[in-house]
Amino acid sequence: MIMRSKLLLPLIAIAIILVAAAAAGCTSMNGGTGLSSGDRPSSYGESWNGPQVAPQYPGAYDSKSSGTAGVAPVPTASGEAYSDIGNRKVIMTASIQIETTKFNESVDKVRFLATSTGGYVQSSSMNMYDQNRRSSTITIKVPQSAYEQTLSEIRKLGTVKSDSSTGSDVTLQYVDVESRLKNLRAEEARLIDIMDQAKNVTEILAVERELSRVQGEIESYQARLNVLNSQIDFSTITVYVTEPEPVVSYDWGIGDAVTEAVHAFVGMIGGLIVLTGYLIPLVLYLALGLAALYLLIRGALWLYKRSQNRKTEAAEEKKERPEEKK
């Protein structure tokens, strides 16, 4: 038992050295664009933003080596190369605004185009704006093979007010994730072989810890690869459907004049009714206020006259008293 442990310890050390060398080889193969251990997600479920913009690689346009100006092959995890544009990984997105009088029909048509091509409606909304005009925003996902045909059908729905289409090349990012995933799976297989040969509990636990880390990274990179595949396989199209402004006619006839006059008269009567409704409470309050003010003034005048009368009577009494004494 002791001899087996002594033999397995060097074997584990050699395996760990081989794993480290394989990881270093993976990093150098990808041109230094790989992630450090601090940049990688530690477990499945954590988001990996990764390099959003694929770095440029030498030889992208090398007319001397190939004789023509073209795209240089990108090596894959299996050693093959994406030697033409058709093999590149491109995420397609488009935005198009359509103005149409057939609003409901156009919205239904966009939904139908998504489902009939094997895609789906990602989101949809509708609102009202200037002069009760309707507007709808629909985001659909369609297979990349049906991308151009779907755009062509959408353009037929009405007047195209704006139209844009972009493609994001994620070939290098895709190959990088794919390559790392392959190396991690190879590392996982080697660790499983080592675990099968381990007889000591300490050795088994050490290999299990390393195997758990590797399997966590495999799940994270596989999730990232699944997201890329979904974005590549299904293109995104955002459609804005709007109604045109109502057409104002300036042709005026007797019938139109009479109609306008009736509408104006009805509007005036309605305005007067509304104004009367507002004025009635105001008039009542004003009348009550004036009545109260009138009563106050009358009362003040009455008191003033009364006081004056008393003064006059008092003066007359004073005059009469001296005459009586004589």
The conformation of residue 291, written as its DSSP 8-state character, comes to H
101 with 107: CB under 8 angstroms?
Answer: no
| Burial classification of residue 186, based on how many CB atoms lie within 10 Å of its CB (0-12 exposed, 13-18 middle, 19 or more buried) | middle
Question: How far is 154 from 229, CA to CA, in rounded Å?
Answer: 25
**pLDDT (tens digit per residue) in 148-186:** 999 999 999 999 999 999 999 999 999 999 999 999 999
- Would you say how long the chain is, in residues? 326
Partners of residue 159 on adjacent β-strands: 99
Q: Which two tokens mark 302?
A: 């009455």
What pLDDT band is residue 38 in, cutting at 50, 70 and 90? very low
Count CB-CB contacts under 10 A for residue 94.
21
Question: How far is 153 from 176, CA to CA, in rounded Å?
Answer: 36
* pLDDT at res. 159: 94
**pLDDT (tens digit per residue) in 93-105:** 999 999 999 999 9
The Cα-based distances of 303 to 105, 291, 293, 309, 314 in angstroms read 85, 18, 15, 10, 17
**pLDDT (tens digit per residue) in 119-151:** 999 999 999 887 688 999 999 999 999 999 999
Which helix (H) or strand (E) segment holds residue 201: the answer is helix 201-233
243 with 151: CB under 8 angstroms?
Answer: no
Kindly report the average pLDDT of the chain as a whole number. 76
What pLDDT band is residue 14 in, cutting at 50, 70 and 90? low
* pLDDT at res. 220: 95
Is 0.85 topped by the overall pTM?
Answer: no
| Burial classification of residue 68, based on how many CB atoms lie within 10 Å of its CB (0-12 exposed, 13-18 middle, 19 or more buried) | exposed
Nearest-5° Cα angle at 157, 154 to 162: 65
Q: Which of 228, 243, 239 is nearest to 123 (CA)?
A: 239
Could you give phi then psi for residue 128, rounded to 5 degrees?
-110, 145
First to last CA, the chain: 162
